[in-house]
Structure 1
């Protein structure tokens, strides 16, 4: 195993699919978000399923947060938690 130090993630403003799913689980939000996605239009479902990265200021993230009643601060928390992975 490499002993190289990990680069700091303090500016992380995007999430991989794996990190996104794990952090949504940690926050207890995954079921609600996935139900929202399933009820959304086909373009939204495709974006959710096939995107390899989720950027904080992306329209999909903003619309999902608003429709799920999440504040910008709560969304920021999700992206902040990504730093811990």
Structure 2
């Protein structure tokens, strides 16, 4: 007998696929409102910059400029990125 509901692991894989394919995330917090969440690649970049600053390998103003440049480039790419195949068909 086939179970109509997905198992925990299947639903986790489905959600992980949705996250991988998504371009933007936001959290709705009470009293604060909607807050954007960066993609995992951006989080890794920011953490890497923070680690370089913490280890005194680069100065914090340099890290700030690099981080701001990364944010601007990623925003530009999401604006000019062509729509996904599913969006084109809709």
Bin of the TM-score, shorter chain as denominator length: under 0.3
Whose strand proportion is higher, 1 or 2? Answer: 2
TM-score (norm 1): 0.25
Q: Which has the higher contact order (CA 8 A, sep 6+)?
A: 1
What is the TM-score when the length of structure 2 is the normalising length? 0.24
Greater radius of gyration (CA): 2
